[in-house]
Structure 1
Amino acid sequence: MANEQKHDGCCSGHHCSSEHTHGKKTLTVLESAAAVASDGTAALSGKAIVYSVHGMDCSSCAKSLERHMRTLPAVKDVSVNFSTGKMQLVSDGLQDDAVIREVAKAGYSAQRLERRTSGEAVKKDQAGTLLTTLSGVFLALGFASSLTSLDASVSTILYALAIISGGYRPARSAFYAIKSKSLDMNVLMSVAAIGAALIGEWLEGATVVWLFSIGNLLQTKSIEKTRDSIRNLMDLAPPEAWVKKGETLTRMSVEEIGVGDVIVVKPGEKIPLDGDILAGHSSVNQAPITGESIPVDKQAGDAVFAGSVNESGALEIKVTKLVADTAIARIIHLVEEAQEKKAPTQAFVDKFAAMYTPIVLILALLVIVFPPLFGFGTWGEWFYKALELLVVACPCALVISTPVAIVSAIGNAARNGVLIKGGTFLEKAGAIEAIAFDKTGTLTEGKPRVTQVVAVGEAEDVILAIARTMEERSNHPIAQAIVAYAKQKQIAARAGDDYQALVGKGVQATVDGVVYYAGKPALFEELGIDMSPWKEQIASLQVEGNTLIVVGTKHELLGMIAVADAIREITVGAISQIKAAGISEIIMLTGDNAGTAKKVAAQTGVDRYFAELLPQDKVEAVKKLQQEGKVVAMVGDGINDAPALATADLGIAMGGAGTDTAMETADIVLMADNLEKLPHTVRISRKALVIIKQNIWFSIVVKLVALVLIFPGWLTLWLAVLSDTGAALIVILNSMRLLRMKP
């Protein structure tokens, strides 16, 4: 069925939330305000300020912090995202210090991000590491003293100190969670630790707190590593540039440089802003932006992107975009938005967890009350089992099973020149069965090349020399293709005059006193030349997709030049790799005739093609594939193919680095203008789905096993904590494998 979650192209790439809802983009008040406040000015009424929050290790932490911040009268709107570790705050004059203090009350540390494109990392939370270490030391001392002849109260005091030092932060977070009417794992763990102390299980309580604390620390560090994949992107572009003013060079901050200014980039330096080369030529490594592995030769008139590396010659570049509008800034913005969007699996798990935690608390109360009432064991025994139940049932591993995998996959793709605009599209890409490609400009280069020269009355060199002489003055793509081919063969033009364009037919010129013509076969039929000896050959070349330029005089035919749209060098290998990645069918959509389509399909490895299509016919072709029961992705340039991209289950645009339109219209954007990274996109999407399923099933199985072990009394409280934090850590590490996947 047609995809209902598409862009309508109504907003610019860096100001839009890209939230897809029934064909429209919706911007929340918060996101609009965030876009306005992206310059990092002081917190003013109605503007959103972005803070990086350290210490959140699952989405329930984010929800608790969000609810706590909403209790402040000055806060008008707030959004805390666990995946990116960021908080957007709209307040009525609330100062940064006050915000940071309130975040600290909830058990986390915050730091304001100066601008959306900045890459400053949050100052590492040393206090958390210190408290965890202290807790471990007190626990070890308490256990050691219990093995000596010292009074039992000594070990009890040491265990109590271990609980206080390691449990201070979780207890504080639990207090603010309860105050804001939310229940998270801090609440469950705090209840378990206090409960253990109340029934005299001081060693158990201290062990619970320390394991929980160290688990949190490891989880936080691991999750921060996945977020660093985006911070590394942010650090690509240099903060300053050499600006040319007259004959002098001035070092300036990129924020102070405007459109139209001329900057100079020396060999070996990173290009600081998007622009067009005015002078100089060089080899430019665009891998950070487009993912292309081979540097690209650039000269005057070519576009360059911020964050790419100038490898050889010095370049003078005219700035075309401000720092906030560069390709790298748009990439960062879109990746962050993508990571903030929940995939269907994540949304379901979050809803499940929201209902699950209160149910567990009620169940724990029932376990405490009913079995002893009916004579099944003592109150203390069932109270202990209830505490184990609270710890085991904590859904942390399940809740983080999806978002960490999605953040890792999207971050990996972005580093390799692919923008995946959200978890929804990552999941869809993993489920794709068929991919439909537009031919022109996608499988082919979109510009003609000479494929064959057929000599009739003269040698090939003579035909090309005369053709070049006539075509050099024309801007027509076919004429330029013939001139380029002659130059490649090092065949010079001859002296000519009396050039004339024969509208709709060809050209003529006088060369060495003889009038020559170059044009369609019909032109020579009009001149009275019998074309019948070559009709079969002409028809054969045309069926294969060639446009024929016949060269001759009024009296004889010299030869024919066949010109066709060339297949991209990368296409055949990319299609082969896509099939190897598990895509069952490759389809080509083209407006060309069936003969051309058949030839291109045979050369590229396409399984099936639809020929002679108008733009609206491409939409019908995609619908036909969907009606056959396939999940279909459409790959095009994001402009001419917009209707088909919108109709497909997944729209993939090529050449996003150079076009805003491609970034806005598609669900996935290949930054380079080729298919090189599409196989990697398919593989990482499928791997992400596998890892998400592994994480979910692993989390559920661990919980079920631990729950079963509670009631026979085989599970201790500290083992329950170990099963919870251990499961969460394994889920995170499993997800982080996606960061290491290479094309």
Structure 2
Amino acid sequence: MIKKDIILDGLNCASCAAKIENKVNTMKEIKSASFSFATKVLSIEYEDSLGFEAILDKIKKIVNTLEPDVIVKTKNYYEELGRHNHPIKDECCSGHDHSHGHSHGEGSHSLLNKKNVRIALGALLFLGGVILKQNQYIQLPLYIFSYFLIGGDVLLRAARNIMRGQVFDENFLMAIATIGAFAIKEYPEGVAVMLFYQIGELFQDIAVERSRKSIKSLLNIRPDYANLKTEEGLVVTKPELIKVGNTIVVKPGERVPLDGIILEGESMVETSALTGESVPRRVKAGDTILSGFVNTNGLLNIEVKKEFGESTVSRILDLVQNASNKKAPTENFITKFARFYTPLVVIGAALVAIIPPIVTGEAFADWLYRALIFLVISCPCALVISIPLGFFGGIGGASKSGILVKGGNYLEALNGVDTVVFDKTGTLTQGVFKVREINVAEGFTRSEVLRLAAMAEIHSNHPIAKSIIEEYNGEVDEGLINSYEEISGHGIKANIEGKEVLAGNIKLLHREGVAASQLDSSGTIVYISIDKKFAGSITISDIIKEDSAKAIKALKKQGIKKLIMLTGDLDNVAKQVSEELRLDEYYSELLPEDKVNVLERIKETKSEKGKLVFVGDGINDAPVLAMADIGVAMGGLGSDAAIEAADVVLMTDEPSKLSEAISIARKTKKIVLQNIILALGVKGIVLILGAFGVATMWEAVFADVGVALLAVLNSMRVLKTK
């Protein structure tokens, strides 16, 4: 399956965007299509065997039919998000003059474009008509001229769309409503409604673009250039052209363009754009450094370890882009609701215009006026614009705090969390193990036990193994290791210098027929056997993170019902950590498959609507991360496996980020609900008042564009995550 991104530049009409998305989804070549209103990106998935050019041509025809003034182009998404000062030429596939109102362009960012000047002249003529109300021979022509100056583009688009079979759009509805006002001789109101509709659309477009820019500024971590070190000196080039193994130079004040290892130099780097951490880090030669960091003072020579497409900053931007395609249930509901809302209100308008005059014998003009009010507020733009912006803003704000959420569906799901299950090592504890004690059995020496244990663990990446190797602190001749076997959930079995060495838990020794008794300790114990004889034990301790207690306290304050820990450690170690952090439950001595079984049982006990979160390292815990309602990877910065396995990635080692993620999710949901209530509430009230002859078309215009503007402005509040 191939995924491609297509930019629909100038598409600011949310209901129009929904039509395009629905139409593209009906294409037999397309498996799925999703349009992000916040980024203007249409993401499509299709089979490998199908050519992209043929699919693109069909999409161009759909866009050209529905919105001919929208520019369709393919472009690297990272450039769209982050490249402001060094633009790369786009590959435009189709397009016309940016002159599509609602506004699909025509320099909507400039107040002095042709459209706005035309509206201003129309407003002056309208004002002249109001002043000269005593002279009908002058007044009426002024109203007519001002009407066409202000709303001529709306009428033109309405006529053009009718010819394409697109009847129930906002242009048609506004045209019918204002022409209807002229028909019943409400000339000033017809012009005024069109004028304030156009002004409202202008401010709405400005607010939408400002919201988009605010979201993009949160993600403006893409480096614009790289200083490539060559024999001739430094060459400034695009990060995409740098190869693995090249050396780049990052000067003070510059953003690190690619992931790599520092060869020379020492500096403080600002990591807040990726992790949300306000305190700079000190880096030196030999340290790993990630793209997106900002070098603050020293000069750094860096060997590139990943090409730009695989770098941390690319993965983060790609993740946030994809997040807008995984829509929240609320978004999907509003999209479906919008399809029925407009036709129902139009049908209601027709009934209001026809039935009451027939039944009561009242003047047809009065009820037609009331019906026109229905038409003015029959567009659901306030909902269709503000809700996607709200969710995308929440995702963008979370990423600024070092929390990557893979979709609006997961952001919304965080609102319903009632059970959180933590892995222990590296999540609640530092995962930095130190050898605390070495005990040896009779007939063996401390140095012998430690040396053979270190040799047995030399191929393991487990923190416990690394602590033993670090404690040994000597040269390990791997040629002396004749065989090596890692037994999942038990430990290591190796043949070293002709001796059978076992290093693992008590289960490993018992499994291999070695007589040994379980020891009592608050640390993790590695039992050592040499040639089927118990040789001794190494006690290793892990330290609870300072942030863990804060995280547990915050989650309980947020109303999380159960906080549970799973670990492969011994019961006494797990019990100590659980009691210190005041967790509700813990499960110890679990093999990887045991964690899956335990999580299944926990899921069965939680409430039906409640969501279960599993927090792990994203590498060893992939099965349980996938099984949980929401999988959260801890310390995922720079980890491909963490980003791949989890639904949410906390880019620092702070468990309290989960509580912050829940807070952001709740704030986002609150703002989204406010917009739904605001839009439907105001529109519903004005519909009722209009039906009873209380509301006028002025209130109807406010219920349409005014409410949409307020909803967009309200959505921007979600960008403030603190």
The interval holding the TM-score normalised by the smaller chain is: 0.7 to 0.9
Are positions 1:154 and 2:138 aligned together? yes
Q: Give the structure 1 partner of residue 703 of structure 2.
A: 723
Superposition map of 1:463-542 within 5 A: 481=467, 542=521
How far apart, in 2, do the equivalents of 1:53 and 1:466 lie? 70
Question: Aligned in 2, Cα 1:115/1:141: closer, same or farther, shift over 3 Å?
Answer: same
Instruction: Give the conservation status (yes or no) of the 8 Å contact 2:414–2:611.
Output: no
Q: Give the structure 2 partner of residue 56 of structure 1.
A: 12
Question: Aligned in 2, Cα 1:156/1:594: closer, same or farther, shift over 3 Å?
Answer: farther
Task: Report the number of matched residues.
Answer: 644
Q: Give the structure 2 partner of residue 566 of structure 1.
A: 543
Are positions 1:691 and 2:671 aligned together? yes
From 203, 223, 238, the counterpart of 2:188: 203
Q: Give the structure 2 partner of residue 424 of structure 1.
A: 409
Superposition map of 1:387-406 within 5 A: 387-406=372-391
Give SS of 1:242's match.
Answer: strand
How far apart, in 2, do the equivalents of 1:272 and 1:62 lie? 34
Are positions 1:213 and 2:213 aligned together? no
From 588, 593, 597, the counterpart of 2:570: 593
Give SS of 1:381's match.
Answer: helix
Q: What is the CA distance between 1:647 and its match in structure 2?
A: 1.3
Give SS of 1:586's match.
Answer: strand
Question: Aligned in 2, Cα 1:146/1:632: closer, same or farther, shift over 3 Å?
Answer: same
Q: Give the structure 2 partner of residue 319 of structure 1.
A: 304
Q: Give the structure 2 partner of residue 653 of structure 1.
A: 633
Are positions 1:433 and 2:418 aligned together? yes
Q: Give the structure 2 partner of residue 32 of structure 1.
A: 3
Are positions 1:583 and 2:560 aligned together? yes
How far apart, in 2, do the equivalents of 1:627 and 1:136 lie? 64
Give SS of 2:9's match.
Answer: strand
How far apart, in 1, do the equivalents of 2:34 and 2:138 lie? 46
How far apart, in 1, do the equivalents of 2:23 and 2:706 lie? 28
Q: Give the structure 2 partner of residue 166 of structure 1.
A: 150
How far apart, in 2, do the equivalents of 1:651 and 1:286 lie? 24
| Comparing 310-319 and 122-131, the one that deviates more | 122-131
Are positions 1:106 and 2:67 aligned together? yes
Deviations 1:625-651 (A, max 9, x none): 221224211111222111111111111
Deviations 1:654-696 (A, max 9, x none): 2333122222221112223442422221101111122222222
| Comparing 164-173 and 183-192, the one that deviates more | 164-173
How far apart, in 1, do the equivalents of 2:504 and 2:641 lie? 36
Are positions 1:701 and 2:681 aligned together? yes
Instruction: Give the conservation status (yes or no) of the 8 Å contact 1:278–1:300.
Output: yes
Instruction: Give the conservation status (yes or no) of the 8 Å contact 2:132–2:139.
Output: no
Which AA in structure 1 matches 2:67?
A
Deviations 1:526-554 (A, max 9, x none): xxxxxxxxx9xx955x1x2344899xxxx
Question: Aligned in 2, Cα 1:182/1:650: closer, same or farther, shift over 3 Å?
Answer: farther
Which AA in structure 1 matches 2:581?
T
How far apart, in 2, do the equivalents of 1:323 and 1:111 lie? 26
How far apart, in 2, do the equivalents of 1:287 and 1:259 lie? 26
Question: Aligned in 2, Cα 1:84/1:478: closer, same or farther, shift over 3 Å?
Answer: closer
How far apart, in 2, do the equivalents of 1:562 and 1:54 lie? 64
Q: What is the CA distance between 1:618 and its match in structure 2?
A: 1.5
Question: Aligned in 2, Cα 1:92/1:162: closer, same or farther, shift over 3 Å?
Answer: farther
| Comparing 83-92 and 568-577, the one that deviates more | 83-92
Instruction: Give the conservation status (yes or no) of the 8 Å contact 2:178–2:191.
Output: yes
Question: Aligned in 2, Cα 1:478/1:452: closer, same or farther, shift over 3 Å?
Answer: same
How far apart, in 1, do the equivalents of 2:25 and 2:604 lie? 47
Are positions 1:116 and 2:71 aligned together? no
Question: Aligned in 2, Cα 1:545/1:173: closer, same or farther, shift over 3 Å?
Answer: farther
Give SS of 2:672's match.
Answer: helix
Q: Give the structure 1 partner of residue 37 of structure 2.
A: 82
Q: Give the structure 1 partner of residue 247 of structure 2.
A: 262
Q: Give the structure 1 partner of residue 523 of structure 2.
A: 545
How far apart, in 2, do the equivalents of 1:302 and 1:424 lie? 37
Which AA in structure 2 matches 1:582?
G
How far apart, in 2, do the equivalents of 1:207 and 1:539 lie? 86
Which AA in structure 2 matches 1:125?
S
Instruction: Give the conservation status (yes or no) of the 8 Å contact 1:441–1:637.
Output: yes
Give SS of 2:638's match.
Answer: coil
| Comparing 379-388 and 119-128, the one that deviates more | 119-128
Q: What is the CA distance between 1:576 and its match in structure 2?
A: 2.3
Question: Aligned in 2, Cα 1:105/1:355: closer, same or farther, shift over 3 Å?
Answer: closer
Which AA in structure 2 matches 1:614?
L
How far apart, in 1, do the equivalents of 2:691 and 2:457 lie? 84
Are positions 1:125 and 2:108 aligned together? yes
Q: Give the structure 1 partner of residue 92 of structure 2.
A: none
Question: Aligned in 2, Cα 1:153/1:625: closer, same or farther, shift over 3 Å?
Answer: farther
From 650, 657, 663, the counterpart of 2:643: 663
- Percent identity among equivalent residues? 36
Q: What is the CA distance between 1:285 and its match in structure 2?
A: 2.0
How far apart, in 2, do the equivalents of 1:204 and 1:393 lie? 18
Q: What is the CA distance between 1:324 and its match in structure 2?
A: 2.3
TM-score after normalising by structure 1: 0.76
Which AA in structure 2 matches 1:146?
V
Instruction: Give the conservation status (yes or no) of the 8 Å contact 2:78–2:222.
Output: no
Q: Give the structure 2 partner of residue 526 of structure 1.
A: none
How far apart, in 1, do the equivalents of 2:645 and 2:146 lie? 55
TM-score after normalising by structure 2: 0.78
Instruction: Give the conservation status (yes or no) of the 8 Å contact 2:325–2:407.
Output: yes
| Comparing 124-133 and 206-215, the one that deviates more | 124-133
Which AA in structure 1 matches 2:340?
M
Give SS of 1:719's match.
Answer: helix
How far apart, in 1, do the equivalents of 2:21 and 2:454 lie? 67
How far apart, in 1, do the equivalents of 2:116 and 2:224 lie? 38
From 604, 608, 620, the counterpart of 2:597: 620
Question: Aligned in 2, Cα 1:108/1:222: closer, same or farther, shift over 3 Å?
Answer: farther
Q: What is the CA distance between 1:66 and its match in structure 2?
A: 6.0
Q: What is the CA distance between 1:279 and its match in structure 2?
A: 2.9
Are positions 1:280 and 2:265 aligned together? yes
How far apart, in 2, do the equivalents of 1:128 and 1:78 lie? 34
Which AA in structure 2 matches 1:372?
P
Q: What is the CA distance between 1:127 and its match in structure 2?
A: 6.7
How far apart, in 2, do the equivalents of 1:435 and 1:70 lie? 37
Which AA in structure 1 matches 2:313?
I
From 624, 643, 653, the counterpart of 2:623: 643
How far apart, in 2, do the equivalents of 1:439 and 1:76 lie? 40
Which AA in structure 2 matches 1:603?
E
Give SS of 2:426's match.
Answer: helix
Q: What is the CA distance between 1:425 and its match in structure 2?
A: 0.8
| Comparing 680-689 and 136-145, the one that deviates more | 136-145
How far apart, in 2, do the equivalents of 1:129 and 1:55 lie? 20
Give SS of 1:32's match.
Answer: strand
| Comparing 364-373 and 405-414, the one that deviates more | 364-373
Instruction: Give the conservation status (yes or no) of the 8 Å contact 1:177–1:183.
Output: no
Instruction: Give the conservation status (yes or no) of the 8 Å contact 1:67–1:180.
Output: no
Question: Aligned in 2, Cα 1:603/1:93: closer, same or farther, shift over 3 Å?
Answer: closer
How far apart, in 2, do the equivalents of 1:70 and 1:689 lie? 27
Instruction: Give the conservation status (yes or no) of the 8 Å contact 2:24–2:33.
Output: yes
How far apart, in 1, do the equivalents of 2:493 and 2:195 lie? 85
Give SS of 1:183's match.
Answer: coil
Instruction: Give the conservation status (yes or no) of the 8 Å contact 1:335–1:411.
Output: yes
How far apart, in 2, do the equivalents of 1:700 and 1:417 lie? 35
Instruction: Give the conservation status (yes or no) of the 8 Å contact 1:433–1:583.
Output: yes
Q: What is the CA distance between 1:416 and its match in structure 2?
A: 1.8
Instruction: Give the conservation status (yes or no) of the 8 Å contact 1:570–1:674.
Output: yes
| Comparing 124-133 and 608-617, the one that deviates more | 124-133
Deviations 1:277-297 (A, max 9, x none): 233333322221222332233
Which AA in structure 2 matches 1:662?
A
From 187, 197, 209, the counterpart of 1:224: 209
